[in-house]
Structure 1
Amino acid sequence: MPGVGKRVHVNITLDVYDEKVNDLPSEPDTDSSDESDLRVSTFNGLLKDFGLEKKFPGKLNLNAFLKVKCKVDPTQSVDFFWQKLTSLDYRAGFPQNYAANSFSMRDFVFSVLHCADDFLRQDILEKMAACQLAVPVILQGIEGTKPQFLLWALRRIIKKWKGNRDSYASEQLIATYPIFTVSVLRIGDVRVSKSSLLNTMLGYSQGNSLHSFFLSMEKDIVKPHFSVGSIECVWFLPQYGNDDEIFQEVTAFFNLRGDCTKHRVQTEFACKAADLTIVLISTGKRDKYIDVIKKIKINASKTLFVAIKEEDKHMRTQQKVYNPQFKDGWLFVKVLQVDVLSRHICKHISLTNPNPNQYRSLESLANICRDDIDIDENKWMCKNAKKSVHDIFESVSLDNIIEFKKVTFPLQDYWLNLVQLDEEPSLSDGEGESLEDQRKAAQIKK
């Protein structure tokens, strides 16, 4: 693989872990200081920077993008973003492609989604998913509003795959297809980026090149403020013929942006939605967050806690491979080697062995939102659209489908006739008539 050193392959055996709320396994305690988040501006100020102040809330639609402008200043970044997405350019999410370096790319996408109407949101998320970019499942609210479950916006996303175990390819609307789900959380400050770790898990550890599925803090120019608390999702799709894959089935990865202790509602949703919840925490902070750990264990189906020791300058200079140690549902990392840690976590996920009959679809997760999370499908615009589709197609009987097509889609027969006329010259045997005469005759018929 170009630009990548030799991958370290690690064979491990994981014991069956206990999911009960129990005492923490022993590990040396160290101290680490937390960094506080600073509010750099108001959300209205952020919108003004992007030229979106008149588009909030939900006033940005597809018509606004029909004329694409060149990238000149931050107020035209929205047009540039859409131009990249419509060409399915995954670099649409790269901060370095934009004129300004004074805003967080994660906050930028967050502001665009809050300004977009429900139908434009479908377009944006569909194209982001096609570019293999993380899409928000839960969009954080602003100025005291509730987080929002973007079920309607996710409904157009289609995924196609064929794994080594599959006899044929599958193509599914991902919102309605039950799949294995993994949520990844962070408690407090940890010296590894969740997003970078997930990118390695989905890239190098599966025999693929590294790709920025999730925009990490190393890639984003400015630390995000408004978008923290959102839950983003990427779907792993098995590839037939890739023998390096550790995962063998379609898997959804939920990534809660920010410290989960500051987002109780989203943390509870992520735990209840997942078949396995992975939690990153600094080793020395485990006692401080004992109540948070217990709460996560109560809400989650299965858990894996990854305790990462604070940086040791002496150990950092060592070239030896240090394997994390598994004990009682905890993975202890004394020396941080992201590639090694990634493969250990991937192996653990592959050995979880949940019951496929218990997998849930995104659609079914609406049942756990309750009163704390709004669902976009409950808006009148989405309800009216669903009702219109239902009224049109549910009234049609299978016996009368041909007549229904003639009435509802009258131009279909017309276009079919035009196609047949276009094909006539090439199908004719000529019989003394020149090709030019045949074309003129076909044109007269049209």
Structure 2
Amino acid sequence: MMDYRARYIHVNKANEHDKTQQRDTDTSEDIGDIFQAVSLYNKGKSQSDRIHPMDVQMAVFHCADGFLKQMLVSKLSQCQYALPLLVPDPFTQQIEFPLWTFRQINKSWKMRNTNNEIISQTHLVYKAETPMVSFFRFGSVSSSKSHLMKSLINEKHNTFFHRNCPGSSRTRVLMDGVVEIAWFCPSGKNTDKFTDCVAFCNLHGDAGDHEKQLEILTEMSSVNVVLLPGLQKNYGSAEKIQNLIRITTPLICLFTEDESTVMMMKKGKFKIGLKDRNLSDVSEELRRAINDCLSESSSTFKLEDMSKHSDIRVDEEDDDDCRRGKEAAQQMMSLLEKKDLTEIKK
């Protein structure tokens, strides 16, 4: 039914009731060695058989036709959740850009002009030109990238599903390589974290394993944000990180094994340590760094421009049936536009 709570899946174990009964029985007995008791209870407990909620969402997405995909993405947008932007086929790894699913989505926001007047704007999201901030990680990191992104957009709402959400587990099979997108839409108030509408893109999995997605996002983004343990020359993705530093696009490096506060390495290149630091402090420093980068950059991103990239498939809009249907609809519209409105009513 596409309930917004469908992301929070609780899996009841078949033997959960039996284990509860066993524990109740054991309470009346002397358990003796507490360490032995704990190891016995933990034996056989594993997350390997847990179903990741985002795997369920992506399984439905992969099995759906174009209309159900569009409905699913529209519902996700209504619930203020991140939307699938680049989706690798689980069998062929061909990357799909589901442009059709975004066609009905509008975003509204309020900005202040130079005279401090509030200007309201509403755009079809695929046509909106906004700055874009891309997040990646290289290697295995101790901090949750999705959790950090969620805190930038909305501290009270899980825009991006992350490891601390109900039902989450370390095992997932359909999310690696998926790029999700969400927008921060300002309200025109002084408390806005960003003064303009900003798109945030999240590449799931190790960016070093998903070169095409990394290439597309770094080419189109206004700011790149990278999570990694540290910088060493013998690091597996050192060359890719070096490329991000060389290009003119602003870069913010988040080091999970570094305790330092925000620091500018050179113009447009920042580093922030995450180790043993308060998430609220890190979010505030990251937000300031992103705003500094955006104030120096005039580059914008338009969703439909992504379809111009080679090597990615644009969903149903590439199909012959859809193309013929669109041409027929445009022909009908051109006939209607030639007639006077009163004639059409008659």
- Normalised to the residue count of structure 2, the TM-score between the two structures is 0.79
How many aligned residue pairs are there? 300
Counterpart of 1:171, as a letter, is T
Contact 1:307-1:330 within 8 A present in 2 as well = no
Equivalent residue, structure 1, for 2:322: 382
Contact 2:270-2:289 within 8 A present in 1 as well = no
Contact 1:217-1:223 within 8 A present in 2 as well = no
Equivalent residue, structure 2, for 1:109: 57
Q: Which has the higher strand share?
A: 2
Contact 1:274-1:300 within 8 A present in 2 as well = no
Structure 2: where are the runs of 5+ without partners?
14-48
1:167 aligns with 2:167: no
Counterpart of 2:152, as a letter, is M
How do 1:347-426 and structure 2 match up within 5 A?
347-352=288-293, 353-354=295-296, 356=298, 358-367=299-308, 369-371=309-311, 373-376=312-315, 377-406=317-346
SS in 1 for 2:283: helix
Equivalent residue, structure 2, for 1:248: 195
Displacement, 1:385?
3.6
Contact 2:50-2:171 within 8 A present in 1 as well = no
How do 1:55-70 and structure 2 match up within 5 A?
none
Equivalent residue, structure 1, for 2:181: 233
SS in 2 for 1:106: helix
Equivalent residue, structure 2, for 1:92: 6
Go from structure 1 to structure 2 and tell me whether the alpha carbon gap of 1:173 and 1:282 turns closer, same or farther (over 3 Å shift).
same
Counterpart of 2:202, as a letter, is N
SS in 2 for 1:252: strand
Equivalent residue, structure 1, for 2:101: 153
SS in 2 for 1:395: helix
1:318-363 deviation per Cα after TM superposition (whole angstroms, max 9, x unaligned): xxxx63333231314154322111111111111122555x423101
Equivalent residue, structure 1, for 2:67: 119
Counterpart of 1:214, as a letter, is F
Equivalent residue, structure 1, for 2:161: 215
Go from structure 1 to structure 2 and tell me whether the alpha carbon gap of 1:309 and 1:286 turns closer, same or farther (over 3 Å shift).
farther
Displacement, 1:137?
0.6
1:144-180 deviation per Cα after TM superposition (whole angstroms, max 9, x unaligned): 2401011111111111122355633211100011111
Q: Determine the C-alpha separation between the residues in 1 that align with 2:146 and 2:213.
A: 17
Among 274, 293, 299, the alignment partner of 2:221 is 274
SS in 2 for 1:343: helix
Counterpart of 1:246, as a letter, is K
Contact 1:275-1:354 within 8 A present in 2 as well = no
* Structure with max Cα Rg: 1
How do 1:297-312 and structure 2 match up within 5 A?
297=245, 301-309=249-257
Query: Which segment drifts farther, 230-239 or 394-403?
Result: 394-403
Go from structure 1 to structure 2 and tell me whether the alpha carbon gap of 1:173 and 1:341 turns closer, same or farther (over 3 Å shift).
same
Contact 1:305-1:331 within 8 A present in 2 as well = yes
Among 280, 286, 302, the alignment partner of 1:339 is 280
Equivalent residue, structure 1, for 2:153: 202
SS in 2 for 1:235: strand
- Normalised to the residue count of structure 1, the TM-score between the two structures is 0.62
Q: Determine the C-alpha separation between the residues in 1 that align with 2:136 and 2:51.
A: 24
Contact 1:118-1:382 within 8 A present in 2 as well = no
1:131 aligns with 2:76: no
Divergent runs of 4+, >4 A: 98-101, 284-287, 297-300
1:323 aligns with 2:264: no
Q: Determine the C-alpha separation between the residues in 2 that align with 1:343 and 1:263.
A: 29
Counterpart of 1:181, as a letter, is M
Contact 2:118-2:188 within 8 A present in 1 as well = no
How do 1:281-292 and structure 2 match up within 5 A?
281-283=228-230, 285=232, 287-288=234-235, 289-292=237-240
Superposed CA RMSD: 2.4
